[in-house]
Structure 1
Amino acid sequence: MTLPLPGVPPYAHRRIVEELPDLGYTDVWTGEAAGADGFVPLALAAAWAPELHLGTAVVPVQTRGPALLAMTAATLAGAAPGGFTLGIGSSGPPFVTATNGIPFERPYQRVRDTLRFLRAAFAGEYVAGDFGSFRIEGFQLAALPHPPPRLIVGALRPGMLGLAGREADGAATNFLAVEDVPAVVAALGGGELMARLFVCPTRDVTYARAVGRRLLAPILNARTYSAFHDWLGRGERLAPVRAAWAVGDRAGAQAAIPDDIVDALLVHGSPQECAAHVARYVAAGIDVPALALVPAPEFGGGPEAAREMVRRLSPARVGVS
């Protein structure tokens, strides 16, 4: 399950998180963009349900220094008996530069170099030297977590997927269809594949597609995801979406997304239908499906609505392991 849940402030997650293990959930994951940071929700979850595995998917490498990232991850790993996976990624100019005022430079190299720095730091080494995209005068973690965090890389295309397969423990991805998974797995070449899957548990297809179009239009027009879907073979079908977006026609861009693409990228339907869709991802090669809930009209809003969605989608209830 992805935290935080929609419409739920951090403190109000406690009752929901405490229930997750009994409902059949094994992990909680966070992201980091314009909402909550990637670590505080996981620290709360570690206190409320210590048996859960925790993970970030992903935190950007350019908005924290390598040593601070290592210290934060090591501290959280030490607080998480169920284990911790640190997912790192390049993010992009909207978050790194426009929001944080940091130049977005050499993203592949920065991810690679941060990954190598973290490997050495988590092994207890004294780390110093020129990594390529940054230079470290000297750093050593004062307290090593046991076990150390696992390391995965946010990856969409062969370059970053290949790096994840060679030098990390796996990759994190999202906004892909079931039929896309084999290509991603092949480009990864080894290691665990985690995917965040956006799920709207509603039988109202019209509502789900409207929500899906609002969610997907900015994503499909973002530089990285546009290139991702070109690689996956959707460039021609998404050309009208991009043309409308380029001239500022947001409504036109949403309307131009074909129904079948919305249905492929947003999991929707009854809880059982959603579970079956998620199961198809797993059968195709996703090792860790992390659900990201999208509000549905059947449940209303607020913490109790989110709690009920979590319950209705639980592996224990829908019979999916």
Structure 2
Amino acid sequence: MKLGLQLGYWGAAPPANAPELVAAAEECGFDAVFTAEAWGSDAFTPLAWWGSATRRVRLGTSVVQMSARTPAACAMHALTLDHLSGGRFVLGLGVSGPQVVEGWYGQPFAKPLARTREYVSVLRQVLAREAPVVNDGPHYPLPYQGPGALGLGKPLRPITHPLRADLPIWLGAEGPKNVSLAAEIADGWLAIYYAPRLAGMYDEWLDEGLAKAGRKREDFEVAATCQVVVTDDPVAVRGFLKPFVALYIGGMGAPGMNFHAEVFTRMGYGEVVADVGKLYQAGRKDEAAQVVPDELVREISIVGNAEEVRAEVARWEAAGVTQLLVGCRDTDSIKAVAEACQ
């Protein structure tokens, strides 16, 4: 099982100890370091800044939001970071949700699957650099010929030669169609709130996409965000995690269109989702966290002593996960997780 350090996105200020965490992850044998973005800090800049001190780990985004940049602009970021890191960059993408896409970026959210397919197609063209980049699709037309166009747009190839045409592209996806699309057009799936119990369901989605592309499962990565904590007090740790779960169920999506909440509903926690959503929307966040059951947290995290963690990691690996993206707050936690997963 490979390990990735998930640094996430910033809160009110940058994390003070990120350089130490990145250094510890590389020293302890982690495979990769990932950054994210929401509606504050971006993902590329911290990755370049902190990643400049690394020599071995892969550097990835988990995830950058597609509506924040045109596909050509995103490809420029990717090929630049891939050169600077010596071919260690992994581009993780996600569609986000309508509240962020329409409320923050001022872009339409409709047809996310079609937009994703077009976006990745343009990225692949830029990275291949075989011909000037063109796209006839309605979402990212190149050259642009819509309202306000001067008609002078010219298809272009990137001036800079990409280091790798096969730079890995991973997609953050939660629903069956999105996961299947990731297996069809991407090189990996960034899974959030993965549950090994449902591996058979995920495999059906993945196999459908892989079959369309004529690809094999061994050529595809499944990176699951998972809190891995080595502790002798698992009850307390799970209690600490519940407010974050409640946030994603009740506060990280629009009522009636919350993709995170749908994940837990598919897991069989529909009543919990409804109760947490009502409490969260009413501003009763502490009560919402208390509604989250221990069993739900147990399914999506790995918490226990070193022996228990090691056994659980093996179970997740058997379920098809190739990498765990873990969020560690200090270097001791990184060392403990690395030792338990060896």
TM-score bucket (shorter structure) = 0.7 to 0.9
Match of residue 205 from structure 1: 234
Cα distance change, pair 215–106 in 1 and its aligned pair in 2 (3 A): same
Match of residue 126 from structure 1: 132
1:94 shift after superposition: 3.1
Q: Percent identity?
A: 28
The answer as to whether partners of 1:27 and 1:55 remain within 8 angstroms in 2 is yes
Match of residue 310 from structure 1: 334
* In structure 2, distance between residues paired with 1:101 and 1:38: 19
- State the aligned residue count: 307
Cα distance change, pair 89–5 in 1 and its aligned pair in 2 (3 A): closer
Q: In the alignment, residue 126 of structure 1 is paired with which amino acid?
A: P
* In structure 2, distance between residues paired with 1:158 and 1:15: 38
Cα distance change, pair 6–33 in 1 and its aligned pair in 2 (3 A): closer
The answer as to whether partners of 1:10 and 1:41 remain within 8 angstroms in 2 is no
Structure 2 counterparts to residues 33-112 of structure 1, below 5 A: 33-34=38-39, 36-81=41-86, 83-112=88-117
Match of residue 26 from structure 1: 31
* In structure 1, distance between residues paired with 2:240 and 2:225: 17
Aligned: 1:229 with 2:278: no
Match of residue 300 from structure 1: none
Give the counterpart of 1:161 among 169, 176, 179: 179
* In structure 1, distance between residues paired with 2:227 and 2:49: 23
Q: In the alignment, residue 157 of structure 2 is paired with which amino acid?
A: Q
1:34 shift after superposition: 4.2
1:131 shift after superposition: 2.0
Q: In the alignment, residue 227 of structure 2 is paired with which amino acid?
A: F
* In structure 2, distance between residues paired with 1:46 and 1:90: 25
**Farther-moved stretch of structure 1 (34-43 vs 8-17):** 8-17
Q: In the alignment, residue 263 of structure 1 is paired with which amino acid?
A: R
* In structure 2, distance between residues paired with 1:107 and 1:6: 25
* In structure 2, distance between residues paired with 1:156 and 1:263: 19
The answer as to whether partners of 2:230 and 2:333 remain within 8 angstroms in 1 is yes
Gaps of 5+ in 1: 296-305
The answer as to whether partners of 2:228 and 2:337 remain within 8 angstroms in 1 is no
Gaps of 5+ in 2: 144-154, 211-219
Q: In the alignment, residue 298 of structure 2 is paired with which amino acid?
A: D
RMSD of Structure 2 on Structure 1 (CA) = 2.5
Match of residue 244 from structure 2: 215
Match of residue 148 from structure 2: none
What SS does structure 1 have at the residue aligned with 2:292?
Answer: coil
Match of residue 163 from structure 2: 146
* In structure 1, distance between residues paired with 2:101 and 2:33: 25
* In structure 1, distance between residues paired with 2:206 and 2:36: 21
Cα distance change, pair 10–233 in 1 and its aligned pair in 2 (3 A): closer
TM-score (norm 1): 0.85
1:154 shift after superposition: 1.0
What SS does structure 1 have at the residue aligned with 2:232?
Answer: coil
The answer as to whether partners of 2:227 and 2:302 remain within 8 angstroms in 1 is yes
Q: Deviations over 1:9-40 (max 9, x none)?
A: 46743344234333121111122214542112
